Structure 1
């Protein structure tokens, strides 16, 4: 995991940056994040403030919000010159992730539309194989709110609790990662899953880039 750094204090809002450079707000947000990640340090407070300062506007992100009626989707927006992945996730009603870790990466989530429920679990101890995971809490993330997760805080599952409405969320992972561990809630058993993208920069990925395992790692809860 990247170490934390000293907070940046620009005092300039995303709206001011976007207006001055005639950028869409999403481009201004990407520019600010690239500045935050310009070296090998991550400041959690700085990232949270930057994401909170962005007010969700579908005109900014709709080109990246590509849905699949069968599963939630990961849509790559920016790679930050290899320092992070910025991804728009699209959730149909009732869709959820498996319980998973973040392979040593920081995870920031900004809610763009709808609501997500987050359920957290403690990392299983080495001598607890076969025993259920211990739930440590649950919370909801509403539009324009930001939440943070890392392996130091445990495992989590994210889900769209609505039975009728879609949800869209913006996720930033640093360092960028291409795999994670999935955990069985009943037995604590884990296995590795590749992180794949439904689309890249607003265009659907090739079918070969979306393996069948993606269907196994995204589902609907009854």
Structure 2
């Protein structure tokens, strides 16, 4: 079993020289057993939206972040702009709904799979597998997840589930390295 710090270090080591080996990363993510005392300082919630809290930039090769989900919060249906996406549940449960890419304009997205992940569950997604949405379906409990994106990205596409309409979105961090970011007056949002 590895600690959170060891997990971060081992992820960095994996990507010093290698391309993405999905099985190796899944195994490593699965080897960490969540301990709130190890990651609490990165888990910053907002009562109005889920938050993306940067933990490590991985020498520019990836972003490792902790996402905090209040009760009932969900992401939009989105792609990953050709990045690999690994998710590990650190606290609570998240439901991942996978969708096929839109085939026709103005038609609802087709659901491929719907799966709920509990504590220490690990999921993988990339654009070849389709689109997805992550959701905390609890109406009383928050959830926390660890996300690894390789390579890092600053934009993605969100999709309207009812029409398949695509909208380009800029993604931002709520905090970096355990410190909330003050975007007041900033145009950047990164």
Query: Normalising TM by the smaller chain, what interval?
Result: over 0.9
Per the alignment, do residues 163 and 85 of structure 1 end up closer, same or farther by CA in structure 2, a change over 3 Å counting?
same
> Are 2:150 and 1:174 aligned?
yes
Q: Distance in 2 between matches of 1:186 and 1:90?
A: 26
95, 119, 124: which one pairs with 1:143?
119
Per the alignment, do residues 199 and 62 of structure 1 end up closer, same or farther by CA in structure 2, a change over 3 Å counting?
same
Per the alignment, do residues 209 and 67 of structure 1 end up closer, same or farther by CA in structure 2, a change over 3 Å counting?
farther
Structure index of larger Rg: 1
Aligned length: 188
Q: Distance in 1 between matches of 2:186 and 2:163?
A: 28
1:84-113, Cα deviation, whole Å (9 max, x unpaired)? 000100000000001000000000000000
Q: Distance in 2 between matches of 1:106 and 1:209?
A: 32
Q: Distance in 2 between matches of 1:68 and 1:209?
A: 19
1:149-199, Cα deviation, whole Å (9 max, x unpaired)? 000000011100100001000000000111100001111110111110000
TM-score, length-normalised on structure 2? 0.95
Structure 1, unaligned stretches of length 5 or more? 1-12, 15-24, 214-222
> Are 2:112 and 1:112 aligned?
no
State the partner residue of 1:52. 30
- Compute the displacement of 1:146 (Å): 0.4
- Compute the displacement of 1:38 (Å): 1.1
Contact 1:66–1:73 under 8 Å retained in 2: yes
105, 118, 126: which one pairs with 1:129?
105
Contact 1:196–1:210 under 8 Å retained in 2: no
- Compute the displacement of 1:40 (Å): 4.9
- Compute the displacement of 1:145 (Å): 1.0
State the partner residue of 1:189. 165
51, 57, 82: which one pairs with 2:60?
82
> Are 2:98 and 1:101 aligned?
no
Q: Alpha carbon RMSD of aligned pairs, Å?
A: 1.5
TM-score, length-normalised on structure 1? 0.82
